[in-house]
Structure 1
Amino acid sequence: MPTFPRNPIMSLTAEQPRHELGESYGPDLRLADLLTPELGDLELGYGTAAGDVRLRTAIADRHGVRPEDVVVTVGGMHGIFLLAYLLEGEVVTTAPQFPMTRNAFDTVGASVRVVPLTFDEGYRLTADAVRAQLTPETRLVSLATPQNPSGVAVPPETLRDIVDAMSEVCPDAYLLVDETYRAAAYGDDPVVDTALRFGPKVVSVASLSKCHGVAGLRIGWVISTDSGLVEQLTTAKFSTVVTGSTVTEALALRVFEQEDQILAVRRPWLEQNLLITQDWVNANSELVEWVRPDAGALCVIRLRPSVDLERFRRAAAEGGVRLADGDWFGDEPRVFRLGFGFLPAGELKAALDALAEAVHAAH
């Protein structure tokens, strides 16, 4: 019987520990930040299958497409699952990756071909590595940029070369690009253009959960300029959840109305916390190493061989430090994902101090 594989990443939804370094997003907004008197008059009926047209317009404007190209979903994972279901067949994807994405492919019974990414190579994806996994039966290529857990981005020229390879080997396949962290640039770093510019076979998936601090709204989207695929996605959404919540869609529209102000606060926050994390890695470089992320609220740390892994895990738990283990994502056991974007700078420093104690205790 089909089922959803269980992954320990579910533990991140449990009670928050003393030092939260496992989360992958920035600080939460409060409901009061979004409420307006007009929302009190909102009628609590069904929405539309594709999503509120004003919200779809806001999303479309930020991607240079039409509102008709956007389907609002219940978080980004809903969109990925619908694509996996509709495009059932051979999937080419990477490892490590966000485990729920791989679960979606496994749940629908897809044949999965994996492009391995490694710490030692900086999690850099090449078009040649993807091309080597493509076959005429490939229906979907699934990538994330920046990646989760590493925060490493796929260069635009690599994406273009992958699209070119797909047009030769599997011209009917789609390239799914998870762009959830695209807007989570550091400080004044430019935001990379959406991959949608590489043609109608590219599908973008993202959400408001990571960059904007409103994971509780459960608002995501799928964007495609292929009208036939959009029609299938809209029907699939209706067949699974009917419509989204009119309340959360209205609140999501408020987020987009305030997006410039929200990101103007978050990008310096992420930059500051990235530098704090970098200083911590440098100060403890005899025991840990990292791959510096390109964007996002997370990075990957690896314990050096002199650190006893099991002793470290026990010491971290005893110190109230929660991390995201690398094997949750299909990475090597000595790797873990560290989320530096969630805590304020002072609390992040305290959490990293506790983490340093655990590392040294296991040396």
Structure 2
Amino acid sequence: MATFPRNEIMSLTASKPRHDLGESYGPDLRLADLLTPELADLELGYGTAAGGLQLRTAIADRHGVRPEDVVITVGGMHGIFLLAYLLADQGGQVVTTAPEFPMTRNAFETVGASVRVVPLSFDDGYRVTAGAVRAQLTPETRLVSLATPQNPSGVAVPRETLSEIADAMSEVCPEAYLMVDETYRTASYGDDPVAGTALGLGPKVVSVASLSKCHGAAGLRIGWVISTDAGLVERLTTAKFSTVVSASPVAEALAVRVFEQEPRILAERRTWLEQNLLITQDWVQANGDVVEWVRPSAGALCVVRLRPQVDLAEFRRTAGELGVRLADGDWFGDEPRVFRLGFGFLPQEELKAALDALREAVHAAH
């Protein structure tokens, strides 16, 4: 019987801890930031299967595509699940990485895909190489799934590498699609440039993202899939209608307001993320005898590893007693001594307090 694998990452939606370093996004927007008088006249009927034209246009304009290339989904995971279902169900071959966001892995397992894994490691800086991906491709490959920047590491896949992967796929498995999860793409630090979308690499490249991470609007549950393949867009639209009919017109209208304010929202968050990244970097350097990290390329998260002399069980026990919540590496298929640290969620003073408590936990187990 088909089922959805359970993962302890669900605990992030449960009670709030004293020091929350487990989240993977920045501060939340508030409804008051988006409300306008005309929203009071919004009719609470069904939306459209593809999504409202105004919202699809806003997304298309930011990706250099047409509105008809965009399908609005109920969060980014809805889009990933639909792609898995349409392209890789009942033994369809998927090439993906480990570690990766567990819900993505769960989607492939749930639809019965045959998964081939490209292993990434802390010691190699979570770098994806075209050669490693190519080694997993076969003529039966139907979907290659990558994220840039990655969750949990925040490490980006260079565009040249993505291009080499797309070229390899055109040779080995020309019917396969390259799904690129670009959820954290616009969450750059300070004045760092924002990486371009991978969509320009060819018609078999599909982009998935949402408003949840970079924009602080996870509660709207608005995501999207973008493809210049009209046949795939039609299949996605039908699949969306068959699962949820439409997204909420209220959420879509509020999402349009997010995009209207996007330059201000992202500018504020890039400053916030840069400052919190530097706080985290200083903390890692000050505690280098007990921890090490891989510096992220973008996003509100990074990966930290306990050094061998730290007792893992004692660390977890003490961290729990101090109210420190982290995202365990084994949630993502990583080694047990690794954990995802979300530095973008808390205000600076609260982040410093949380890191102080984390230092106490690590040194207590040293």
TM above 0.5, one fold?
yes
SS at match of 1:347: helix
Counterpart residue number, 2:288: 285
Counterpart residue type for residue 321 of structure 1: V
Counterpart residue number, 2:327: 324
Are 1:182 and 2:190 counterparts? no
Counterpart residue number, 1:68: 68
- After superposition, where does 1:185-224 map in structure 2 within 5 Å? 185-224=188-227
- Residue 54 of structure 1 and its aligned partner are, at CA, apart by 0.2
Question: 4+ residue runs of structure 1 moved beyond 2 angstroms?
Answer: none
Counterpart residue number, 1:265: 268
Structure 2, gaps ≥5 residues long: none
- Residue 302 of structure 1 and its aligned partner are, at CA, apart by 0.1
Counterpart residue type for residue 256 of structure 2: L
- After superposition, where does 1:1-363 map in structure 2 within 5 Å? 1-88=1-88, 89-363=92-366
How many pairs were matched up?
A: 363
Q: Percent of aligned pairs with the same residue?
A: 84
Q: TM-score, normalised by structure 1?
A: 1.00
Partner Cα distance (2:111, 2:138) in 1: 19
Partner Cα distance (2:15, 2:41) in 1: 34
Partner Cα distance (2:266, 2:294) in 1: 24
Partner Cα distance (1:264, 1:187) in 2: 8
Structure 1, gaps ≥5 residues long: none
Q: TM-score, normalised by structure 2?
A: 0.99
Partner Cα distance (1:221, 1:15) in 2: 29
- Residue 52 of structure 1 and its aligned partner are, at CA, apart by 0.4
- Root-mean-square deviation (Å): 0.3
SS at match of 1:62: helix
Deviation per residue, 1:318-352 (Å, 9 max, x gap): 00000000000000000000000000011000000
Partner Cα distance (2:77, 2:266) in 1: 23
- Residue 15 of structure 1 and its aligned partner are, at CA, apart by 1.2
- Residue 115 of structure 1 and its aligned partner are, at CA, apart by 0.1
- Residue 16 of structure 1 and its aligned partner are, at CA, apart by 1.0
Partner Cα distance (1:116, 1:208) in 2: 28
- Residue 264 of structure 1 and its aligned partner are, at CA, apart by 1.1
SS at match of 1:86: helix
- Residue 177 of structure 1 and its aligned partner are, at CA, apart by 0.1
